[in-house]
Each structure stands twice: as structure tokens, then as C-alpha cells.
Amino acid sequence: MKREKGTLILRIVIHLFLIVGAGFMLLPLIWCLSSSFKTSGEIFTYPPTLLPKDPTLSNYTELFSRFPYGKWYLNSIVYTVLLTTLSVFFCSLAGFAFAKYRFALQKPLFAIVLAALIVPFQVVLIPLYVTITKLGWMNTYYALVVPFMASPFGIFLMRQFMVTSIPTEIIESARIDGCSELGIFLKIVLPLSQPALGAFAIYQFVFSWNSFLWPLIVLNETSKYTLPIGLQSLFGIFYLKEFGILMAGSALMIVPVVTVFVFMQRYFVSGLTVGAVKE
């Protein structure tokens, strides 16, 4: 009885701690959403108010009327969806090759993939910029998408999942039945890899949606900006004057990320343990 009571108290304490922690993490998002309905003067009032005294939609209307925010939003959606789709496909394809095939230089090539995980992006930034410039891809979607269609992390993640979770016997049986290698990948491997695919898709979506440094370097036309670059340009224009519009833009920018996570969180949670089983 005492043990059950102690366990109950411990659970209550843990849940209270988690609720308080979640509140602190959500506070900036709540403040951003609330400030998007405030005037610039109310945002800087002291003491600050959590809820707007006189809610207004003027920040949202001015955001779309004065700036090409809708175009930036569309650019980000196209870029993010395209890069996420291609990256998930190519990383899963490479992971499948490393997990279920035996070929020359397999181990050295996979070692190179692992080594690439620890190389900061800033190290390859200049060579990548020179390459994109010589290809004539500056200020195009090619420069945004092609260099990141396959990532070392994605290949490693998919390979580890397929090694531990997809039986080789199923693949061999499909070959005996006359299924092609591409058919095995599309009809057997991908459906069985949904937890890893979902987890990596969320990671890649957030990475692409929030990408700032590389788009800032390769894009030089306002109409081709993605949301992070567009919002940064607004910050330079306003410079501590019209933060309500910035908050409105930031609040709308959060929507796709939250939506994707809500609908795919079960894949994300199940994919957290991908690769945890040692070979």
C-alpha cells in the first residue's frame, strides 16, 4: 500500500514537472501569437500583457498588402516539400543498398558517410558555393535542392533501421517470386520502413523549412526568398518599429511545422529508437 502511494506521488510530481516545463517551452510561442494581434505600442508596454487589450488584424493585413509574404510562403512550401520528398527517397534507397547488399568498397563508403556526419556545413560552404556558381545555378531552386537531396544522417538512419527491422528472408522470398529489385524496394522495403521514413521526414521538413544560411547566400531576388530570408529582410526594414507585423509573419510560419508534427508524431516517436539495437 505504501509502495503504491509512493508511486502515485512520484507520478504526480513528474507530471507537474513536465507540465511546468512544457509551459515554459510554449511561452515564447504564446507570446508570439498574442503579439501578432497587438499594436506596436502595446508590445513594448511595461509591465507586458500576455493577452492583447485591443486585438487587431491590421498586422496580418499589412503583412500581405505591403510585402510579398504570400509568395515567400509559397516558395518555402514548394522548396520544403520537394526537398523532403527527394531526400527521403534517395536516403532510403541508399540505406537499403548499404543494409541489404554486399558490394565492393561497401565498408569504406559507409565509413565516409559516417565521417560526413561530423563535418560542419561551414567547412563545405565555400566549395559548394563555387560549384553552384560555375554550374550557373545561382538564384535558382537547383541550388537550394540538389546539394541536399541526400544527407549522411538520413542514409545512416535508414540503413540502421533496415538492418535491424527488415528481415532479409522477406527480400529473398520476393526475389524467388520474380520481383525486381526496384519492386522489392517500392513494394516491400518502403512500407515496412514507415516509422523511420516518418521520423526522417519530420526532421528533414523542419530542417528545410527553417533553412537560412544557404538560401541567404544563393538567393538574391526578393520574389524568390523563402520565409526565413523574407522575415529577416522585414526586420532590417522595420528595425524596432513595427514588430507586430514581424510577429504575425512568425506566427504564420509556425503553422506548417506544427501541423506536420501533429499528424506524424507517432512515426517520430516510434522512430526515436531507430538504430538503437546493436548489430
Rg of the Cα trace of the chain?
A: 24
Q: Is the pLDDT of residue 172 over 60?
A: yes
Of 275 and 144, the structure prediction assigns the larger pLDDT to 144
The CA angle 131-137-139, to the nearest 5 degrees, is 125
CB 197 within 8 A of CB 91: no
Average pLDDT value for the chain: 84
- pLDDT for res 129: 92
For the chain, list the domains and their CATH numbers: 68-271 (1.10.3720.10)
Global pTM value: 0.81
Residue pLDDT, tens place only, 115-155:
988 888 888 899 999 999 999 899 888 899 999 998 899 99
The CA distances from residue 33 to 77, 206, 246, 266, 275, in Å, are 21, 19, 11, 26, 38
